Structure formats: structure tokens, C-alpha cells
């Protein structure tokens, strides 16, 4: 029996026929071949499965009967693969040839490293940053570091990262398993920050490296449904805040969390779409009992002190508000 590949590359897709050739060609050109590739198809209707069978017979396929979103597809892919490390990619990506090799080298050098993510640039404007790692704020904001900034070398240094983007990261499988894996209930957005926070709480670190670089089309499909995108983002930030933040941090950050919710609602109201924010909050409340149950398991798995976790979060409140006193509250 052949030995398992060191890296299991997972690409959850929904109607990915248009772009899949880009990322699969990049994978064929990698400087290492110690990896296997699995496409997790979320009930595509655009001929994705036939295309893979005809053009990419070496690629494994998991065909789901319904669309479980990126998070659900990632969770199924983790269960079905066995590589020591698990790489997550979107279908609309291009990778530098040494992308897998260099990120795996980072994991191999540091057994305490749970996830490593690379600089990702916009495919259509390679002067602009898509992501340079993640940051998490104590009041629930899941922030993509550097997004839309012109790359002038400001992120050409290694930095901590709370999680790794689904558009270009590699996780140590044991870290993911100890953290409880991906939460399929997120569907899409913030699932990588949720997983990343739990990896940190399991005693691992997260790292952003400025090279190798990946390029992401970004919004190829989600851009067609912007209200859904924003609703899920608002909802999932709340889920992450309640699920993954210890009480001693959470209650101190509550005033800023309320300000942040007000800011979200005000933005949507001013854009004529208050239903987006209200819908997100309603869905969050419906999911709250299950989230509280999950929280108990998350806190049971935590192995690091609360103070150490708090040191990995940020507390600034950069959004406009009349309530300066609350925005500056200690937490």
C-alpha cells in the first residue's frame, strides 16, 4: 500500500468549473509532489464533476448531495483525508510554484505551529493585498489584515495570525483535531477564524509569512450575492465571539460589542438594507442555544491561560461612534 501523502490539499467548491483549472494547474507545477488533492463539490450544477473526471483524473472528488458551503465542505474533506497537514484553497487561485514546499517547511521546523498562511494578493490587481493574516478583536471583529491595501512592503515580515484563510493556508492535522476541526454550521465566512482561535486555545501558534505568494480572484461567486455575504459575516462574527471568547474577556468587551453591532446596523440602514443586519442577528439568536453548547466543549479543550489568549487579541475600536467613553472602555 502506498504511503499517504504528507499534505492533503482541500478545495471546497460550488459551481467551480470556470476557475478550477487555474488552481489545479498551479498545483501541478508545485516544486514538491508529496501531496494529494481533493475537490469537495457542493452539489454543483455547472458541470464541475464531469470536468474533473475528464480533465483532472488524478484529483480526488467528494460529491456532496447538497451545498454545505465552504465550512461544511472543509469539514467533510478533513474527515475523508489523512495527510499530516491539511491545505485549504479556493478554486479561483494561482499559487507560486514553491507555495506548498515552503509552508510545509515552516510546519516541520516548529512542532508548536498549528497553522501557517501566506500573503495573498488580488489576482486582477497584483499590487493590492487580499490578506496578510488575520486579527481578532475582543468585541468580535474578525479582521483580514491588509485587505485592499497597496503592497508597499508593509507586511513583508513574519507576523502572528489568528487562523489561516481558506484562500491559502496549511494546518497541522493534529492541531485541527485537538481544536475540534471546522464548524460546518458557519456555511462560509469566519469559519477559519473560529478554527484558528480554537487551535490557539489548544496550545498551538498561528503564523503569517510574506512569501510564497498566492493570487486570488476573490468574489467570483459570492460577489453576486452581496447581501448574503454580509449577513453571514455579521452572524458568524457573533457566533465566534460567543463560542470562543472566555467570559472574563467577553463581559469586559460587551460595551464595544454593542457599539460594533450598532455600527453594522447603521451602515446597512444608511445603504437601505437594514434587513441584512437584522436577519443576521435573528439567525444568531436562533443558533445561540447550539452555540452555547459548543462553547462548553471549546472551553473544555482550552489548554492555555486566558491572559495568554487575550494577548493574541486586539482591543482598539476604529469605527466611528458618538460614544467615545464606551469605545475606550478597558477590556
Pairing of strands 169-172, 113-122: antiparallel
Cell of 64: 456532496
User: What residues pair up with 172 in beta bridges, in sequence order?
Assistant: 85
- The arithmetic mean of pLDDT across residues 29-50, rounded, is 96
What contacts 84, CB < 8 A, 6 or more positions away? 4, 6, 7, 172, 173
Q: Are the C-beta atoms of residues 273 and 225 closer than 8 Å to each other?
A: no
Minimum mean pLDDT range among 47-56, 66-75, 219-228, 242-251: 219-228
Average pLDDT on 139-155 reads 96
**Tell me: the pLDDT tens digits for 87-130?**
999 999 999 999 999 999 999 999 999 999 999 999 999 999 99
pLDDT in tens, 5-20: 999 999 999 998 999 9
Residue 310 banded pLDDT, cuts 50, 70, 90 = very high
- Give the model's pLDDT for residue 326: 80
Question: What is the pLDDT at residue 220?
Answer: 56
- Give buried/exposed letters for 35-53 (b at 16+ CB in 10 A, else e): bbbbbbbbebeeebbebbe
Q: Residue 2: its pLDDT value, please?
A: 58
Q: What is the pLDDT of residue 76?
A: 96
| Closest residue by Cα to residue 43 from 61, 59, 25 | 61
46-55, 228-237, 318-327: least confidently modelled range: 318-327
Residue 222 has pLDDT above 60, yes or no: no
pLDDT digits (tens, 9 = 90+) for 116-126: 999 999 999 99
Q: Assign 316 a pLDDT band (cuts: 50, 70, 90).
A: very high
Give the DSSP letter string of 220-288.
Answer: TTGGG-HHHHHHHHHHHHHHHHHHHS-HHHHHHHHHHHHHHHHHHHHHHHHTT-HHHHHHHHHHHHHHH
Q: In the chain, which ranges are continuous DSSP H helix?
A: 20-28, 48-55, 69-80, 99-109, 173-179, 191-201, 226-244, 247-270, 274-301, 306-311, 324-327
180's grid cell: 475540534
Could you please state the CATH topology (level 3) that the domain comprising 7-223 is classified under. Answer: Spore Coat Polysaccharide Biosynthesis Protein SpsA; Chain A (3.90.550)
Using alpha carbons only, give the angle 295, 301, 306 rounded to the nearest 5 degrees.
Answer: 80
What does the pLDDT average to over 146-154?
97
pLDDT at residue 1, rounded to an integer:
45
CA distances from 108 to 6, 156, 216 (A): 11, 22, 26
234: nearest Cα among 272, 200, 266, 199: 266
CB of 104 closer than 8 Å to CB of 281? no
Report the mean per-residue pLDDT for the chain. Answer: 95
pLDDT at 305 over 60: yes
For residue 79, give the 3-state DSSP assignment: helix
> Helix 247-270 to helix 226-244 angle, to the nearest 10 degrees?
160
Mean pLDDT, to the nearest integer, of 196-214? 97
**155 is written with which cell numbers?**
507586511
User: CB of 119 within 8 A of CB of 103?
Assistant: no
pLDDT surpassing 60 at residue 223:
no
d(CA 99, CA 121): 14
Stated pTM of the model: 0.94
* Terminal-residue alpha carbon distance, the chain: 54
pLDDT value for 122: 97
Contact of 21 with 28, CB cutoff 8 Å: no
Q: Percent of the chain, pLDDT > 90?
A: 92
Amino acid at each position: 500500500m502506498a504511503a499517504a501523502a504528507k499534505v492533503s490539499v482541500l478545495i471546497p467548491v460550488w459551481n467551480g468549473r470556470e476557475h478550477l483549472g487555474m488552481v489545479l494547474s498551479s498545483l501541478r507545477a508545485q516544486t514538491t509532489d508529496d501531496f494529494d488533492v481533493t475537490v469537495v463539490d457542493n452539489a454543483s450544477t455547472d458541470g464541475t464533476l464531469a470536468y474533473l473526471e475528464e480533465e483532472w483524473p488524478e484529483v480526488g472528488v467528494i460529491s456532496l448531495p447538497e451545498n454545505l458551503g465552504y465550512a461544511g465542505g472543509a469539514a467533510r474533506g478533513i474527515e475523508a483525508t489523512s495527510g499530516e497537514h491539511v491545505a485549504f484553497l479556493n478554486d479561483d487561485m494561482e499559487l507560486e510554484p514553491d507555495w506548498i514546499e515552503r509552508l510545509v517547511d515552516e510546519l516541520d521546523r516548529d512542532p508548536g505551529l498549528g497553522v501557517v498562511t501566506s500573503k495573498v494578493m488580488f489576482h486582477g490587481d497584483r499590487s493590492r493585498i487580499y490578506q496578510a493574516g488575520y486579527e481578532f478583536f475582543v468585541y468580535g471583529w474578525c479582521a483580514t489584515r491588509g485587505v485592499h491595501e497597496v503592497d508597499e512592503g508593509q507586511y513583508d515580515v513574519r507576523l502572528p495570525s489568528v487562523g489561516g484563510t481558506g484562500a491559502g493556508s496549511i494546518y497541522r492535522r493534529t492541531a485541527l483535531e485537538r481544536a475540534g476541526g471546522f464548524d460546518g454550521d458557519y456555511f462560509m465566512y469566519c469559519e477559519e477564524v473560529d478554527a484558528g482561535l480554537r487551535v490557539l486555545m489548544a496550545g498551538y501558534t498561528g503564523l503569517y509569512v510574506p512569501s510564497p505568494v498566492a493570487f486570488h480572484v476573490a468574489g467570483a461567486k459570492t460577489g453576486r450575492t452581496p447581501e448574503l455575504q454580509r449577513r453571514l459575516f455579521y452572524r458568524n462574527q457573533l457566533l465566534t465571539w460567543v463560542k470562543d471568547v472566555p467570559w472574563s474577556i467577553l463581559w469586559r468587551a460587551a460595551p464595544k460589542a454593542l457599539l460594533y453591532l450598532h455600527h453594522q446596523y447603521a451602515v446597512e440602514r444608511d445603504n437601505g438594507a437594514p434587513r441584512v443586519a437584522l436577519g443576521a442577528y435573528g439567525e444568531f439568536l436562533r443558533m445561540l442555544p447550539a452555540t452555547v453548547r459548543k462553547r462548553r466543549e471549546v472551553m473544555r479543550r482550552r489548554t492555555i491561560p486566558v491572559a495568554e489568549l487575550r494577548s493574541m487579541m486586539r482591543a482598539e475600536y476604529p469605527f466611528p461612534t458618538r460614544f467615545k467613553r464606551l469605545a475606550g472602555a478597558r477590556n
